[in-house]
A and B are shown apart, each in its own frame.
Chain A
Amino acid sequence: MKRLLTFLLTMALAAGAVGSNSQAASSRTANMNADTNSVLLPNRSPLISFRILFMTGAAADPQGKEGLASLTAAMLAEGGSRTRTYAEITDAMYPMATGFGWQVDKEMTVFSGTTHADNLEKYYGLIREMLLDPGFREDDFQRLKEEEINYLKNSLRGGNDEELGKEVLYTMIYPADHPYGHQNVGAVSALEKMTVKDVRDFYQANYTRANLVMGLAGGYPADFPKRVDTDFAKLPAGTTDSSTVKLVQPKLEPGLKIKLVQRETRSTAVSLGFPIDVTRAAKDWPALAVVASYFGQHRSSNSYLYQRLREARGLNYGDYAYIEYFPRGMYQFQPDPNLGRRLQIFQIWIRPVEPQNGHFVLRAALYEYDKLIREGMSKEAFESTREFLSKYVNVLTSTQDAQLGYALDSRYYKLNDFPTYMREQLAKLTLEDVNRAIKQYLKSDAMRIAIVTKDAAGLRDAILSNKVSPMTYNAPKPKDITDEDKLIEAYKIVVKPADISVVSVDKVFQ
C-alpha cells in the first residue's frame, strides 16, 4: 500500500508513458513467448481501468450454437473461477464497489472494470483468476443460460420495441448463414441445447494470446503491465488471429423489403437500413460521420430528422441516423466502445409513434432520406456539423474508461489517437467530399425496414395499397409543413407483396 501511494505521489505527469514503455520492453525479455498486444494509458488518476479485449465474438459462434460467444463471456465474468464460487467473487468485490463487465459483439468481446488504486492488487487477483482459471460450473451455466434465453424471450421480445426493431433489421440484412446473421445473445433454440462442454471448447479455441489486446489506464504501478503480460502468457498462443476470417457484405436483392413484427403494444417502432462499405478505418468515414450527425445525431435535438419529425410535427420522442452499430441507444447518450466491426450498416431509427401515424412516419423517413440523397448537405450545415464533431470528440472521450475504449478501437481500425484523428480529418474535409460520400455510399436501392406494431396486417395492407395516410395535428401547422405533409402522405413506397412479411414476435430470435 505504501509503495503504491509513493508511486502515485512522485509520478511525474506525462512521464508515466515513458516509464511504462521501458517496462514493456523488459517484459518481452522476461517472457519470450508472451506476445500480448496492449494499449496502455498511464496517468495519475487514483482510478485504474481495465479493458481486456479478445478479438472474438458472435461471428465465431459455430453453426447451430448461436449465442455461444456470449454465454462463454457471461460464464467468465458472471461465473466462478476454479478456486472460488461466483458468490465468493462478488463477496470479495463488494467492499471495493467493483464489478466486472462484459460485452460481446460480432468480432469483439471485452471485459471491463475500474478499481480504486487502493484495491488494485485484490481486484486484479480476482479478474485474473476469472479469465485465466475459470470454473465453468454447471450451476453457473444453467443460471446464465436461462438469463440469456430470458433476455431474448422477454426483455427483447416483450419489453423493448425499439431494440427489438433494430435487432430484427440486422437479421434482415445479414442472412442466417452469414457470420453476422444472428443476434449477439444468440437464438433461443440453440441456447437451449448448449452444454458446458461447448463453453469450454469455445474458450479453448478463442481465448488465446493471438486474440488478446490488454487495455490499461490510470495510475497503475510502472511494473504492472509487465506482470499482467506474464500472467496472460498462460493463455494458449492461438494459431490464427480471427481477424483474418473473411467477411463480406451480403449481396442484397435490390428493392425494399419490410418485416412487420406483430406485438401487443401501444405504439409503432420503425428501423430502416442497408449495408455500407465504410468502417471507421475507411478514408471516407469522417465524411459519412458528418452526414449521419447532420441527418440524425444520436439523442440530439440538433439534427435534421429530429427537427422535421419531432420538433416540427411532434410525431415521437426522437429520430436518429447511424453508420456504426449502436446497441442500447435508448439508455445512453454515447455509444459504448469496443463494438468494432468490419461490416457496418447505415441505419435510421424512428422512435415509437402512435399506431395511426405509422404509415405516415414510414413515408416521412423515406421521403427525408431520399431528399438527403438528392440534395446532399448545404455549406452551412456542413460547417456547423463539422465544428460540432470536432469538439464533440472531447465529450465522447471524457472519461478514462472511454479513452481506453476508443484507443483499443483505434488500434483495431489502424488509426492514430481517435480525437486527434477526427480533428485532423474533419479539418481537411470539404463539402464536396461529404456530398460525394452521400452519393457513393448511401444508396436506397436495397433498403430493409423492420417495424414493430400491433396491427401488422393492417399496416401491411396500407403500405401495399399505397393509400394516402394524411396526418392530423392537435394544433395548426405552418404552411411549409402542411405542404410537405401533402407530399409525404402520398409518397409512394414501392414494395412487392412478397417482400413485405408479417411475423409474430414469439418467432423472432427463436
Chain B
Amino acid sequence: MKLLILASLILALPLFALAQKPRKAFAYDYTIDDLPNGLRLITVPTDYPNLVALYIVVQTGSRNEIEKGKSGYAHLFEHLMFRGSERFTAKQRDDILKKAGADSNAYTTDDRTVYHEVFSKDDLDKILALEGDRFQRLKYEPDAYKTETNAVLGEFNKNSADPEEKAYEVLRATAYKSHTYSHTTMGFIEDIQDMPNQFDYSWQFYSRYYRPEYTTIVVVGDAKRADVLAMVKKYFGDWKRGSYAPEIPAETEQTEAREQHVDWPSETLPILYVAFRGPAYSDDKKDKAALDLLAPIAFGDNSDLYQNLVLKEQKVDSLSFIFEDRADPELFLVAAKVKDAKDMDYVKQQILATYSRFTKEPVSKAKLDSTRSRMRYAFALGLNSSEAIAGALASYIALRRSPDTIEKLFSVYDSITPEDIRQAAAKYFVEKHRSIVTLTTKKEVAK
C-alpha cells in the first residue's frame, strides 16, 4: 500500500450536539448583541482554525424597489459599495483586503443584500473598520457612478446568453402584477439602461436602507464574542438609525391562469416553467413547511414524475423545482428542459397532473419521514466551513434576524402530517393562481 498520510486538520465541529437526539438543526452556540442604534451582531465561534467569515446582511433586495423605473437599485448598490468611502478609497480598501488574503464579494436577492468576506482572523479589526466606513460614509462621484452602471449592464449582458434567465424574467413579470417580485434582482433592462441618469436617486436609496435597523453583522469562525463586539461598537456604534419603511405593494388577487411564450433567437432545448402562487416564509405556520416537504417528493430526482419523464421515457433533459424562502408570498416553480418541442404539451400535462395528484392524495408517512431526514442531513452537510455556516445563516437572518428561526422551522417540519401536505397543496395549487412560461427556438432558427 503506497500511502500518504497528511497531518490531521482539527475540525472540532459540534459533534457531540449532532450525535445526541433530538438533534438541533443548527448545532452551533451563538450570541446575539443588539446595539442601541438597532444594529445586530451575531457571533458564532467555530473551531475551524485561522479563518473568520464576516457576512453583513442588509434586509433590502429587489423587493424594496417600489418606484416605477427604479428596479435593480439594490443590486446596483451591491456594486457601488465597492467604490470607496470617506476614509478609504477603493484602492486603499482593495489593498487592505488583498493583504488580508480575503475572498471578498457580495450578492443581492429579492429580500437581501449580503456583503461577505473570509480572511485571516488577525485582520478582523482592520476589515470591520473598512466595513464601518462604507456602511456609514460611502463616497462616489457621478463619473464613477456612471462607470459602475456600465458594469451592471455588463452583468446583465453576460447573463442574457442564457435562455433560462430569460424564461425566469418573463415568469416573474407574468405572475406578479403589483408586487415588486415582478422583476428579477437584475431589474428590467430599460431601468438598467436608465441607471446612469439616476445619480441622485442612488443616494436616496442608500440613505433609506443602509441603516443599522436593516443590518445584521454575522461573524463566524476563529473569533471571540467579546473581541468582536468591542470592534463592532467601535466602528458601527455611531451609526444613525433611519426612519424609512417601504410600503411593499401587496400582490393583487389572480383570477385566471396566465401563460406566456418566448421565442429565443438561437438554438435551445425547449423550456417549460409551471408555477403556482405559494406562501411566504414562516417558522410557525404549516403551509410553507408542508410545501417544502412536498417539493422533493412530487418533483425531486426521486419523484414518480422525474422517474417517468427523465429516466424512463427520457423526454425531459432536466426537471427541477424552485421554492425559495421569501419575505412575501413566493412562486412554487417546476422547471423542465424538454428534449423535443413536440413533447411540450405532454410534459406540461404530466406536471399539472402531478400538482393535481397531491391535492387529492396524501403522501406516504414513510416518504415524509425520509424527506424530513433528508432535509436535516442536507442542512448538516452544508455546514462544512465557517464561511458555509455564515452563508447558510445569511438567508435566515434576512428573514428573521436570528438563527433560532432555523430551529423553529425544523420543528414545524417535524409536526407536518401527510394530511397537512395534502391540504396545503389543495389550497395553493389552484388553476387561477397558475402561471406558465414556455420558451422555444424561434422558428426560422430551428432545424
Contact = CB atoms under 8 A, between A and B. Distances in A.
A116 B11 CA distance: 14
A199 interface: no
A326 to B, nearest CB: 15
Interface in A101-156: 114-116, 118-119, 139, 142-143, 146-147, 150, 153-154
B114 to A, nearest CB: 14
A278 B371 CA distance: 48
B275 to A, nearest CB: 21
Given A314-B149, A474-B196, A27 B381 contact: no
Nearest to B197: A474
Nearest to B163: A159
Nearest to A86: B311
A86 B307 CA distance: 10
B147 A312 contact: yes
Nearest to A417: B6
B226 interface: no
B4 A40 contact: yes
A8 B17 CA distance: 12
A284 interface: no
Given A97-B378, A395-B118, A299 B311 contact: no
B269 interface: yes
Interface in B25-82: 48, 50-51, 82
Contact of B154 (A25, A118, A315): A315
Contact of B8 (A14, A157, A315): A14
Contacts of B155: 317
* Residue of B11, B300, B310, B384 with most partner-chain A CB within 10 A: B11
A161 interface: yes
Interface stretch (A399-407, A429-437, A489-497): A399-407
Contact of B385 (A265, A388, A399): A399
A146 B317 contact: yes
Contact of A17 (B6, B15, B265, B445): B6
Interface in A305-332: 307, 310-317, 330
Interface stretch (B97-105, B127-135, B427-435): B97-105
B386 A41 contact: no
A321 to B, nearest CB: 16
A153 B268 CA distance: 8
B314 interface: yes
A158 B267 contact: yes
A46 B384 CA distance: 10
Contact of A13 (B8, B104, B269, B311): B8
Contacts of A391: 100-102, 119-120
A474 B146 contact: yes
A146 B339 contact: yes
B387 interface: yes
B346 interface: no
B103 A333 contact: yes
A264 B445 contact: yes
Contacts of B317: 146-147, 150
Contact of A16 (B8, B19, B48, B385): B8
Given A14-B7, A394-B51, A143 B310 contact: yes
Given A94-B374, A266-B161, A139 B13 contact: no
Contact of A28 (B1, B95, B265, B266): B1
A401 B8 contact: no
Contact of A475 (B142, B160, B376): B142
B6 A310 contact: no
B5 interface: yes
B16 interface: yes
Interface residues of B, number: 91
A16 B150 CA distance: 53
Contacts of B342: none
Contacts of A317: 151, 154-155, 157-158
Contacts of B314: 139, 142-143, 146
A43 interface: yes
Given A13-B10, A316-B151, A388-B98, A40 B5 contact: yes
A334 B385 CA distance: 14
Given A46-B19, A154-B269, A352-B154, A139 B302 contact: no
Interface in A1-50: 5, 8-9, 13-14, 16-17, 20-21, 24-25, 27-28, 34-47
Contact of A20 (B5, B157, B387): B5
Nearest to B153: A354
B416 interface: no
A16 B9 CA distance: 10
A254 interface: no
Interface in B367-386: 369-371, 373-378, 380-381, 384-386
A319 to B, nearest CB: 10
A304 B99 CA distance: 15
Nearest to B265: A264
Nearest to B3: A24
A474 B142 CA distance: 10
A381 to B, nearest CB: 10
A394 B161 contact: no
B1 A34 contact: yes
Given A91-B302, A384-B98, A390-B101, A398 B387 contact: yes
B2 A310 contact: no
Nearest to A384: B98
Nearest to B164: A159
Contacts of B1: 24-25, 27-28, 34-36, 38, 229
A96 interface: yes
A200 interface: no
B12 A44 contact: yes
Given A160-B161, A387-B98, A299 B105 contact: yes
Interface string B327-339: 0000000000101
Given A39-B4, A40-B5, A267-B161, A384 B374 contact: no
Interface string A217-229: 0010000000001
A425 interface: no
Interface in A253-277: 263-267, 269
A395 B158 contact: no
Contacts of A91: 302
Contacts of B257: none
A333 B82 CA distance: 17
A244 B302 CA distance: 42
Given A16-B8, A24-B1, A316-B154, 18 more contacts: A41-B8, A47-B380, A95-B374, A98-B381, A139-B311, A153-B267, A160-B161, A162-B158, A266-B160, A310-B154, A314-B149, A316-B157, A352-B154, A352-B157, A352-B161, A384-B99, A388-B99, A505-B266
Interface of A: 5, 8-9, 13-14, 16-17, 20-21, 24-25, 27-28, 34-47, 86-87, 90-91, 94-98, 114-116, 118-119, 139, 142-143, 146-147, 150, 153-154, 157-162, 219, 229, 263-267, 269, 299-302, 307, 310-317, 330, 333-334, 351-354, 384-385, 387-395, 398-401, 403, 407, 411, 417, 473-477, 505-506
22 contacts: A17-B8, A24-B3, A40-B6, A41-B6, A43-B9, A90-B302, A91-B302, A95-B370, A96-B373, A115-B381, A139-B312, A143-B310, A143-B311, A159-B268, A162-B161, A219-B15, A267-B161, A311-B147, A392-B101, A392-B102, A400-B9, A474-B149
Interface of B: 1-13, 15-16, 18-19, 48, 50-51, 82, 90, 94-95, 97-105, 118-120, 142-151, 153-155, 157-158, 160-164, 196, 265-269, 296, 300-302, 307, 310-312, 314, 317, 337, 339, 369-371, 373-378, 380-381, 384-388, 445
